[in-house]
Structure formats: C-alpha cells, structure tokens
Structure 1
C-alpha cells in the first residue's frame, strides 16, 4: 500500500494555507526566560543608553584620511556635484555591440578543458607476489581488469573540467575497492587525491588512487545445505574451489554456476542454487563458505506436451528427441531437441521447458513432462545460387520450397537451372525426419539439357533415395544413402567406327548407394580430422539387349592444422567402371576429370582420352589427388594448391599420364561457409587447353 501525506491546516491569519515558518511552541522555546523579580527599566533609561553608544562610535562617512567608517544609516551624505549633473543623451555613449561570431562554445570548452593522468599506489606487495608465484589474486589481474573498466582510463586523459575528473576519480575509487574485495581482499580501502601541476607549468593534473589491500582471505570450511542427492557427491564435485584457496569472486560465481548447470544434466531439472553466505574471521584470515541448494525431485523424462500454434504434434516431436520416456532427465538432450526443432525452419519461436508431473516413475524418480511452446513461422522459401567454372560456364539455380505441404515435414521443392551449358527443371518431394531424426526420403522427377565439350544430352530422370545425413547441429561419424534411378537420355558421342559424332538413346536403371565415415571437426569448413567415402552403383543398360555393369568410387580427405591459422588439406579419389565397354556406357555415366571440384587448371571434364576433334570422350577409370595450404586471417583466406588426375579407357586406374595443375585461391568466410575464387594453370599445357582456369563457388574445394 502506498501512503499519502496530508497537508497541514493553515495557521491562524494565514489565508494562503502555507505552514508557518516556525510553530508557536518553537518560538516560545527560543525566548530566554525572564526573571519576574528583576526590576523593569524605564523608557528614559533606554534613551540614555542609546545616546551613550552613539557618542562612542563615529558616523559612517568620509573621514579625514579618506577612509570610510561609522554607521551607514546615520552617515551624512557627501556633497558631490557630479551627482546633481543631468545625464547626457543616449547617443553620446560609445557602446560596441557584442559580436556573437567571435565567440564559440569550443572557445569556452577549451578554456575549461583539463588534462590529467592517473596512477595506482599501494599494490607493490601484490606485484611482488605476482613475480614470485603468479596467482589469480595478484595485482596483475587487478590492474588489467581496472584498465578495462576504469572511467579515468576510458577518458583518455581529457575532461571538460575539474569536476568531471573528480567524479571519475570517485567512481574509480569504488571500482578498485570492488576489484580488491572480489579477489579476496575484503578489508581493502582506496583513497583518491588529485595532485596539481606546479604554478606556471602547463602539465596535466595527476589523479592518485592509493590502495590498502589488507590480507587475502582464504576459504575455510565449505558447506552445502542440501538434502541427499544421487550420486552423493554431485554437488561437491562440481564446486571446484577448495579449502585454502583465495576467495576469488569470479571463481566462486563460476563454481556456483557449474552446480546450476550440472544438476539438470544429472536428473534434477528443478534444482535451485540459493544465496551464499561467507563468514569472515579476521584472526585466521579465512572465510567459512555455505551454499544452500534445493535440488528438487530427481526426475525422468515424461510426456511431451505441446501448446501455441501447433506445427508438429507430440508424436513427431518425440521422433526428433534423442531420449525415451523414462530415461533420466538430462538438460543437454532438451537443448538438443530445441535445436532440432529450430533446424526444421518451420518455427518463428519455439521453447522447450520441463514441468513437474507429480507422477512417480517405476525407478523411483518422478516424471518431468516437456512443454513445447510453438509459434509457426513461414513455410515457403525462395533460394538461389550461382557459380562459374572454366569449361562449365555460368550456372545459376533458383528454387521454391514449401517445407510442410504434406505434414509433418513433407516438402515440395521446385527448381530451375539456367546456364550457358545447362538448362533444366525438377520437382522433388522430400520428407525430413522420416521415422527417425535426420533420415530423409526423397522422390524427384527432372528434365535436363547439357551441352559440354564431352557430350550433348537430353535427359529425363526419375529417382528415389533414403538418406541418413549430417547436420550442423549433429555431425555424424557414419552417414549413408541408398535408392534407385531410372533415366532415359539421348546423347551425342563420337563413333570411332563411323568416324563421326552420332546420337544414341540410352535407358539406364541403377541402384546407387553411398556410405561415409567422417572424423573431421566441421561439416562446412574442416580444419582437422579426415573423411572416407565409398560409392557403389549397380546399373543396367536397357534397349538393344540388357547389359549389367557396376560403377564404384572411393574418396578420402584429410585436414591437418599447423598453428592457429594454417591448415594442410589433402584429397585422393579413385574410381572404376567394370563389366561393360566404354561404347556401351552412356557418355554422361562415364568418368571425367577437370574442373573446380576435380583437377583445377583444366576445364570441366577436359582431362582424359579425346576424339579426333580433341573433345573428351570419358573413360572407365579415374584417379585424382590434391593438396592445399590454407591460411586464414579474420574473415579472409589465401589458398595455394596442386591438383593431379588421370582418366583411362581401361577399368583399371592408371598413373602413366597424370596431369597437374597449380594455382592460388582466395576465401571469404561467412556464417554459412567460405566463398571461394580459385585461379589455376595446367603444367605442360597441351593444344586446346586453356592457359588459365577460373572457378567461383561456395565452400572449400574439398
């Protein structure tokens, strides 16, 4: 309740209602008491006393020596003829008007501005202790922290006036005292003083902060007021400071925060850490530490409860969770679920919080339900990307996606490809988190026209795939995919029998599969670790008879950091097609090398055997290798690289005609990965090959 003061009543005779200056009681109290037995004087006695006093003091006026003395009220007026003279006309006064243009605020500020410097005295003992045995309670860390927060330091030795310097000094006195107290010096005091430069000099004033740290208090007994928990040492083992250590505020706060984080990770979602108490003993220079902890009920995961504008039902959310009902509560798994929900891209806001259910679980814990508060976000997106490569030309792709057209997470993706050498369109149905987290099922239909030096094709493709993939939230060690492809393609190829290029239609059915073992440290821009990948695709060429063959590809990449900013990266790839002659394999299904993702320095698909027109015809085997030195500075990077590769007509990879390319590249690092520009040249360039090849794309080359 808020109280309101009542205004006093007006004093008698005071119609304005204002209170009297003093009350009657206060006035009576100030009057000295009068002795009733003392004789009263007469008026004649009063007049005689005043006449005597006037005769002893001369009247205030002009004396003979030119001084002024006496009583102003009784002094006779001096007869000055100037006082009786009339005033002259106003125009006779020579008055120059004030010129504002000659005055600026900067002039005033410059007149008042002061310069200063400051120093801290009294920390010599702590400095000496630092040199002998550096500890977190030394003067070095106090001086460094003071420099970060100091108002005097932030002012750069300049202030508008002395009052500002004084205010900064007072602020920094308290800051330095707080820093000392925060690092175990609970008896610390700090005094401030300003030393002015000598008269006649222009040097700055000096602000001196004199600290008296006093002794460093250390932890005595450490007590946790809490009921028994499981395991019994859960609270104590997460409190790092030990008896005998300095009572460092930051270290104590970090330890308390560690308890608040660790307990929800070990089955206590409703744990609360109370207000600490430190009892200081000046004699032993120790402090007994007591921390109340309310762990709450030990809990297991219960049901998932949704609220808000529902995007997913509880059943689908449970598929994204990496825990089952009845598992011991772990806040890290709750955070992981929240990230997975955000990663779907279907939420504008989503929150996941535990709630007590009051229901006991079979293992003696209590169920903690998870409340998922949902707010739907936009379901449709537009995206575009573009790139350029020598031999591949300019290629741009745009897509429209409805991510939840077929709930839950059934997306429809329509895309268009436009480029100097590729044009096409596709439609894809994709269900993310299908049956389990990070598993996707896709079905796509596409039409594509390609016009490269190696072949020209018109291809229609129907494909399906099931994949278990890595995401930026959870980069998995093992990923895989498997599916099918049905395609019909009309392609132009060189017919060595006829000695000319002719067209042929191929019908292909394939069952492609891939498996990857990933031990790198980052999905988009790895700097350490390695990756191993294998692709296998049994295929059948249909049409004039049925021909079975297989395509296989092995690839490995490795990343080794040298210092903080340099990474050495390497890649090796080998592939083979077995079971069919080259002429029986559609040109688009053969192996090629050259380009930004293959052997830089050469055009797209440029390496390997060629026809009489010096156009690549592809082969049945492939070997590639690359080495890079990556140097990063801030958001930019420089890359030097050497690539090598060879394509052979035989199904057995060969190394007798390896071609090399060298170059340099630039990187601009963004939050979604690096953008790259690589420029390379072939070694021992042959007729028809470009002197320089340029590649622009998103992501590292490997």
Structure 2
C-alpha cells in the first residue's frame, strides 16, 4: 500500500510555486513598464473658435489636453482621447447654454510628436423662455424682493453658473433674515435641446424665522453690562451667523482678551430663539512696554519709552504713558480711557502732559491737563474737550507766561481703502478752540484749523499725495498767545527747503514770533520701485503770517522712501526756490 503524500511536502511545493509566480509577475510588470516608457509620446493641443471663459472651461475638461504631458501617454491613448474630445467639448459648453456645438477635430503625427487641433463653433445657445421663482413659508412676503432679483431673465442665454449663483444668493438672503432652515422645495431646470429653450422653476421654502436668544458668558474679565454693550445684536432680532463673527472680531479688537469664542447653541433653542455662548480668556500680560529710537531733522535724535495697560479693571478702563527725549523736544504724557455709550467708539479721556521744545530763538515749556468726550468710528470722528494749560516761554528777547482754560471741538471724516498702506483715501479734519478772560484765562481768542490729505493711485506703483492746512486766529495781538498756539511753517512736515518753524511773522530783531494765519499746501508724486523702497518728487508752498496778503514761500525737491520693519525712512533733498540762490536743505526722518 502506497504511502500518502506528506502534508509538509505539499505545503513546501505550494509555497515555492507561489513565490515563483510572484517573481514572474514582477518581471513581466517591469518589462511592460519599460516598454511603455520607451514608447512614450507627446501631443500639442490647440482649441480654436472660442475665447475667454468658454475656452478655459473646454481646456479644463478636455482629457487629451489634461494628459498631454503624461509619461504614460501612448499613440493608442492619443487616438482614444481624440475620439472622446468632441464629447468633452460638448460637456464643457453645456453649462454656458450651448448644447449643440460643432466640433471639427484634426489629429496629425510627425514622428513621436502629435498635434490635435479642434475648431469649435458653439452654435445657437439655449435661451430662457420662462422664469418662475417663488417663495413659501413664514418669510414668503419678506423674500419676494429677493426672488424678483433672480439674475436670469427671459431671452437670456441659459448660463448655468448664473443660475447656480442666483440660487445661492436667494438662500443667502433667507439666512441673513433668520430663516436658517430655508431650502428649495422645488428646483427644476427644464431644457429642450431641439427647440433650444430652457425653463427655470424654483420654489424656496423659508421655514420658520429664528431669533437671537440670550447671550451668556461665565467670564469675569469685564462686567456683564459692559460685555452686553459690545453685542452687535439684541435678543429677539433675526438670527444671522455673520453677527457672531462680527462679535468675535469686536471682542478681539478691544485687546482685553487672548482668546474669544462665540457660538450659537442650536440644541438649546426654545421658541425659535437661539442662545449664544461667549467664552473669553484673559491675556497673560496686561501691561505692554515698547522702546524706540528715531531721528528727524525737526526734532533731532530721539528715544521713546511707552507703557500701555490693556485692561485696568472690569469696567474696561485703559491707561497709557509715554516718555520721549530728543535733542529739541521732550515729552511726558499720561492718558486714561473710560468707555461710554457704544464702547467700540465712545470714550471719556483724561490726560496730562508736559512738553518742552526749543527751536531757533524760542524756548517753551507747557504743562496741560484736560478731559475730552470722543467718538471714534473708522470713517467719522468727533469730540469736545476742556484743557487747562500753563506755559512759560522765551521768544527772542521776550519772556512770558500763559494760563488758559481752553474748551475745544474737533471732527474728521476719513475714506480709505486701507488704514495701513493706503492706495486711495481722503482725510478732512477741523479743530476749533478758544478761551476767554472772563473765564479766568490770560487771553481771549478763537482759533480754527482745517487740514486735509488726499492719496490717489492712478497707476500701479504710482501714488499722488496732496496735503493742505488752513488756520486762522481771532486775537487782538499775536503776543497775547503763547508759542504753542501760534502758527509757524517750514520743516519736514510743512514747507520743505526751510528749517523747522523758520517761516512766520518776525519782530524788529528778526526773530520769528509766529502768526495769526496759516496756509500750507503740498503735492508729491511717489513711485515705488519695489516693495521696500521708492522715489518721490514734491512741491510745497505756504507761510505763517499776520497779514493774509503776505507772499507764500515755495520749496521743491526729490526724495527716497524706504519701508523697513520698524517704520518708514524718508530722505528729502529740497530747495527753497523762493530764496535767492535756491539754497538746498536735507530733510531726514527715521522711524
């Protein structure tokens, strides 16, 4: 009787056979891959007869174009993709309303180089013959206007991208109005290719309107009533997610918090009111310190130290202190902000400062303290103030003191595409202040100053910058006012080509004592050569005087601008073209 095969021997034989098959398969795959690589060819694809969006969409769907640079492309694949090209082009044109295009394809070969040319005639488009866009549900009447604004009209080419955009805009309008479950109960686009007609049939069911519920937060960083004043919505107003993002942006802008999270709790919604939860975290460091160095022709070398407290207490108070030391001007100031009304824009400001300044034959030291009520929206700013001033000064051979209780008001309007790097913008501001001896001041006067700045970018990398200032003071004599309230002209920010505060009324000794009137204007053309530097040409004109009919002084020159991480460097070489010999002066500003 023959012995049965050993199970161990059978397993060994099977394993050996399996290993041999695997090796044979890998070798076969290697040679096929090498053969394919050796036979790789290329094809140039050209589409004629259509342009712009139609051509771009064809190329994005034309498979022979998408695979033209593939290393695995073979002659067989090129012929197959060429046969498929007409269908690809038809699918690419359909969304634009062209359902019966004519495509003439030509495929030629020169060696291993292939060329495919497709001449496309899109034919007559499908046009809209009926548009029915309706709304139903709780917001039916409110959404009527949005439905009527659907972008497709009868006789329009049936462009499906416009159709989809119209649908999205209709749903977006419903969401903004608080209908967050809005959906299309019917959305049909009926196309008859033979008749080249299309019908739009949409019905939007708004569903119920949801409202904002109560806003809750367990934070203790600021008082609950202060947090409530930052809310851009009120309980009972229509729900819209955009307001949540707005609240998050507002809270981050306060600089009170290191993290802000705002979310709607849909699971806790009751009676169609969605509660909002706000989570806030306090920053690790509430005090910030900064130190800077700079130089300007007007002030000389300077150093500045600043302390800023982001949040002094739970009422949202802030404080800031600044110390600046320079060759010709020193400053120490303190500011205390108290939010009021809408805390984003409204505040009471308490401030005190000491400033001493020296130029030419003038030395002045001023201590001031005051309170103001300010409103500071990005586009519109205004405020009123009361300031107590004590100034001691020497002007030439004259010395004096001035104590004033000075009420004032200011307003400004700003239009700008960017507050950091403005390409186009306009600022117009006005300041009004005065004092009266009847209120305990040493002088009676009223002063108004208007200023403006215009920035235009007519061409890429070119900016036109214009600025101007007009000032007038009603006072018996300029000597009744301290130097800080007199008008002067000349310097880096005034009429270049002249020294700082060189222009103004002069006394019998030739000392510049300032004037009651001010007129300054400037036009500058700036060309940015790169992101970090540019060149400029400018013309300045103006003067400070007691007599409005005094001639204006003029300065003109060329400059270089550098944009550095710590600020801008301005180098201007200006000539006082009103003076004999056209003297030249260098104006430098760093930081």
Q: Calculate the TM-score normalised by the size of structure 1.
A: 0.65
Query: 2:310 aligned with 1:393, yes or no?
Result: no
Counterpart of 1:237 in structure 2 is: 148
Counterpart of 1:537 in structure 2 is: 433
Query: 2:154 aligned with 1:257, yes or no?
Result: no
Against the structure 1 CA distance between its residues 286 and 234, is the aligned structure 2 distance closer, same or farther, given a 3 Å change threshold? same
Query: 2:580 aligned with 1:696, yes or no?
Result: no
CA distance in 2, matches of 1:169, 1:398: 74
> In the alignment, is the contact (CA less than 8 A) between 1:454 and 1:618 conserved in 2?
no
Show structure 2 runs of 5+ residues with no match: 15-33
1:166-315 matches, within 5 Å, as 179-185=92-98, 195-198=108-111, 204-207=113-116, 216-219=125-128, 221-223=131-133, 226-227=136-137, 229-272=140-183, 277-291=188-202, 293-306=204-217, 311-312=221-222, 314-315=224-225
Against the structure 1 CA distance between its residues 520 and 436, is the aligned structure 2 distance closer, same or farther, given a 3 Å change threshold? same
CA distance in 2, matches of 1:17, 1:539: 115
Query: 2:493 aligned with 1:597, yes or no?
Result: yes
Against the structure 1 CA distance between its residues 573 and 537, is the aligned structure 2 distance closer, same or farther, given a 3 Å change threshold? same
Query: 2:254 aligned with 1:344, yes or no?
Result: yes
Q: Aligned-pair distance for 1:191? A: 11
CA distance in 1, matches of 2:482, 2:465: 34
Deviations 1:550-593 (A, max 9, x none): 24123243648584556655444332333353334322332211
CA distance in 1, matches of 2:75, 2:479: 89
Deviations 1:216-244 (A, max 9, x none): 44445545574352325144234312344
Deviations 1:187-240 (A, max 9, x none): 789999974314xxxx74325568797874444554557435232514423431
> In the alignment, is the contact (CA less than 8 A) between 1:639 and 1:665 conserved in 2?
yes
Query: 2:486 aligned with 1:579, yes or no?
Result: no
Which secondary structure does the structure 1 equivalent of 2:443 belong to? strand
1:288-687 matches, within 5 Å, as 288-291=199-202, 293-306=204-217, 311-312=221-222, 314-328=224-238, 335-354=245-264, 367-377=273-283, 379-383=286-290, 388-432=295-339, 435-471=342-378, 475-476=379-380, 479-495=381-397, 504-518=400-414, 531-539=427-435, 547-557=442-452, 559=454, 563-565=458-460, 570-579=466-475, 581-610=477-506, 616-629=512-525, 635=531, 639-648=536-545, 650=546, 653-666=547-560, 677-685=571-579
Against the structure 1 CA distance between its residues 247 and 16, is the aligned structure 2 distance closer, same or farther, given a 3 Å change threshold? farther
Which secondary structure does the structure 1 equivalent of 2:544 belong to? strand
Q: Aligned-pair distance for 1:659? A: 0.8
Against the structure 1 CA distance between its residues 221 and 113, is the aligned structure 2 distance closer, same or farther, given a 3 Å change threshold? same
Structure with max Cα Rg: 1
1:142-181 matches, within 5 Å, as 142-145=54-57, 162=73, 179-181=92-94
CA distance in 2, matches of 1:327, 1:439: 24
Which secondary structure does the structure 2 equivalent of 1:516 belong to? strand
> In the alignment, is the contact (CA less than 8 A) between 2:423 and 2:457 conserved in 1?
no
> In the alignment, is the contact (CA less than 8 A) between 1:638 and 1:667 conserved in 2?
yes
1:5-154 matches, within 5 Å, as 116-120=42-46, 124=49, 127=50, 139-145=51-57
- Give the number of the structure whose residues are more often strand, by fraction: 2
CA distance in 2, matches of 1:120, 1:295: 48
Against the structure 1 CA distance between its residues 355 and 581, is the aligned structure 2 distance closer, same or farther, given a 3 Å change threshold? same
> In the alignment, is the contact (CA less than 8 A) between 1:506 and 1:541 conserved in 2?
no
Against the structure 1 CA distance between its residues 495 and 146, is the aligned structure 2 distance closer, same or farther, given a 3 Å change threshold? farther
Which secondary structure does the structure 1 equivalent of 2:444 belong to? strand
Against the structure 1 CA distance between its residues 289 and 590, is the aligned structure 2 distance closer, same or farther, given a 3 Å change threshold? same
Q: Aligned-pair distance for 1:438? A: 0.3
Against the structure 1 CA distance between its residues 217 and 511, is the aligned structure 2 distance closer, same or farther, given a 3 Å change threshold? same
> In the alignment, is the contact (CA less than 8 A) between 1:150 and 1:175 conserved in 2?
yes
Q: Aligned-pair distance for 1:662? A: 1.4
Which secondary structure does the structure 1 equivalent of 2:356 belong to? strand
Across the aligned residues of Structure 1 and Structure 2, the Cα RMSD in angstroms comes to 4.8
Against the structure 1 CA distance between its residues 211 and 575, is the aligned structure 2 distance closer, same or farther, given a 3 Å change threshold? closer
CA distance in 1, matches of 2:79, 2:506: 80
CA distance in 1, matches of 2:187, 2:282: 42
Show structure 1 runs of 5+ residues with no match: 1-11, 22-107, 128-138, 361-365, 497-502
Against the structure 1 CA distance between its residues 195 and 674, is the aligned structure 2 distance closer, same or farther, given a 3 Å change threshold? farther
Deviations 1:640-692 (A, max 9, x none): 332222222x3xx52323111113345568999987554432113379x9622
Q: Calculate the TM-score normalised by the size of structure 2.
A: 0.75
Deviations 1:141-196 (A, max 9, x none): 222345679898799x8665646996999699697565334333567899999743
CA distance in 2, matches of 1:311, 1:488: 39
